[in-house]
Structure 1
Amino acid sequence: MSKKITIVGGHGNVSLKLAKLLSPTHTVTSIIRNADQEQDIKDVGATPLILSLEDNSVSDFAKSFNGQDVVYFSAGAGGKGGEERTKAVDYEGGIKVFDALEAIEGPKPRLIHVSAVDIRDPNKVPAHYDEADRAMSERVRKGIPAYMKWKYESDKNLAKRTAFKWTMLRPGGLNNDEGTDKADIGRTHICTTVSRQNVAKALALLVDREDAAGLSIDFVGGETPISEGLETFIKKGETDWLG
């Protein structure tokens, strides 16, 4: 069934690939903050909408989400602008989107939230991590501490929300390889990168998975067909969010 979909952070590499996958069968609106990006959005079959996570209000976003079936949050500062901007986009921007969804009267869209593998309380190390996972986690936390901190605060806030249905996809390190339609999904090791195309494919499949509500899904490179891996994970119903 065709859905009305909004992508927040519509000009990101994953978001553009996602819009291209969704637009043939769904109505896609991609939120961007720069009018110079409008043609890129149109080229993947979506409709551009200019709003800024930093400058627009909760009510502005609530208005844009009203009547939508699914909202994707795939925005991020991308390490630009230092910790202040990382906090403004990855944390405060996320909170703004969550608040906007809650502010909608009547039916609320589902949220599919793009996070990252290993976003967690640094004192809660997953039991399945091996020595390589622990070393990778430590390197990443030292390399991009502001992102790991503020993305965790955002996800922790989302995990407590009950007014709308949400699902988190938590990709590992990203690469630009061709999509394989294969990955390793759920409570996995974190050292293998995953293609942006495969991430987009998983996000596109989640559009119809209302039964994934409340689940956080780790997603790295691997050999399991994505649709099969998601099906197994969702049926198991065990979230990767440790708090």
Structure 2
Amino acid sequence: MKVTIVGGHGNVSLRLARLLSPKNTVTSIIRNIEQGDDIKSTGSTPFVLSLEDSPASDFAVAFQNQDVVYFSAGSGGKGGPERTKKVDYEGAIKVFDAIEKVDGKKKPRLILVSAIDVRDPEKIPSHYNEADITRANQARSVLATYMKMKYEADKNLVQRTAFKWTILRPGTLSDEPGTGKASIGRTHLTPSISRDDVAKALALLLDREDAAGLAIDMVGGEVSIEEGLDAFIKKGETDFLG
């Protein structure tokens, strides 16, 4: 397939490009040409655009004839509230709008990386225990703007019908080696999940058009990622509560 990764120099994105590039044509959008060698080392082709400064029309050109767009960009809560809004909300909306602007009836499918527990803070999932609620409250106190901007972006996306989309919502990320296993769907908020395993799940979603319309929670666990995704997709119940 022809694939574009927005936020191509991120730690998950670099891992994803390495997994996809042997069998697919991968383009990684970066904001700084100095990151180009890192992109090339993954087998991907660098393409310079700024999520903060380039217009949606430029992204639409980049997305032309692509099969799948991954949105794996994020401020990580760094740079203050203004930059967080610029990247995590406005940047995401820009990508959604750009996909809609792609010429022709066939729009690229979007696979978006969000975060676990992104929701209306008044809507507490019924499966959460006291530890989950405590952790959720702590995260919102530390990363209030980040969580809000992710929520506003996801809330916007789930209303879109012009293209197919899937949201992956990993928990706290680690740099531990991947295990190939996870807990997927209606999870608790711990344990952490390896970036290797998140990249693997994203790579598997490339071929899962039947995951369209689903938001998928993912933390560390003991079920193979393939089995966990397959069971979740077959069940067909999104983890996004609104």
Give the TM-score category using the shorter length: over 0.9
One of 97, 100, 106 as aligned partner of 1:99? 97
Report the equivalent of 1:181.
180
Alignment of 1:1-243 (within 5 A): 3-106=1-104, 107-243=106-242
Q: CA deviation at 1:32?
A: 0.2
Work out the CA distance in 1 between the residues paired with 2:5 and 2:54.
16
Check whether the contact 1:184–1:229 (CA below 8 A) recurs between aligned residues. Answer: yes
Work out the CA distance in 2 between the residues paired with 1:223 and 1:179.
12
Q: CA deviation at 1:233?
A: 0.2
**3-state SS of the aligned residue for 2:145?**
helix
Per-residue CA distance 1:199-220 (angstroms, 9 max, x = gap): 0000000000000000000000
Work out the CA distance in 2 between the residues paired with 1:84 and 1:139.
21
**3-state SS of the aligned residue for 1:17?**
helix
Work out the CA distance in 1 between the residues paired with 2:183 and 2:79.
33
- Which shows bigger deviation, 113-122 or 73-82? 73-82
Q: CA deviation at 1:79?
A: 2.2
Per-residue CA distance 1:164-186 (angstroms, 9 max, x = gap): 00000000000000010000000
**3-state SS of the aligned residue for 2:220?**
strand
Work out the CA distance in 1 between the residues paired with 2:222 and 2:146.
29
Per-residue CA distance 1:31-70 (angstroms, 9 max, x = gap): 0001110000000000000000111001000000010000
Work out the CA distance in 2 between the residues paired with 1:205 and 1:29.
18
Q: How many residues align?
A: 241
Work out the CA distance in 2 between the residues paired with 1:52 and 1:148.
22
**3-state SS of the aligned residue for 2:36?**
helix
Work out the CA distance in 2 between the residues paired with 1:145 and 1:239.
23
Work out the CA distance in 2 between the residues paired with 1:57 and 1:29.
18
Q: Which amino acid aligns with 1:153?
A: E
Work out the CA distance in 1 between the residues paired with 2:120 and 2:230.
27
Check whether the contact 1:132–1:191 (CA below 8 A) recurs between aligned residues. Answer: no
Q: CA deviation at 1:104?
A: 1.1
- In structure 1, list runs of 5 or more residues that go unmatched: none
Per-residue CA distance 1:137-174 (angstroms, 9 max, x = gap): 01100011110011100000001000000000000000
Q: CA deviation at 1:239?
A: 0.4
Q: Which amino acid aligns with 2:117?
A: D
Q: CA deviation at 1:81?
A: 1.4
Q: Which amino acid aligns with 1:144?
A: L
Q: CA deviation at 1:78?
A: 2.0
- In structure 2, list runs of 5 or more residues that go unmatched: none
Q: Which amino acid aligns with 2:156?
A: N
Q: Which amino acid aligns with 1:68?
A: Q
Q: CA deviation at 1:80?
A: 2.1
**3-state SS of the aligned residue for 2:237?**
coil
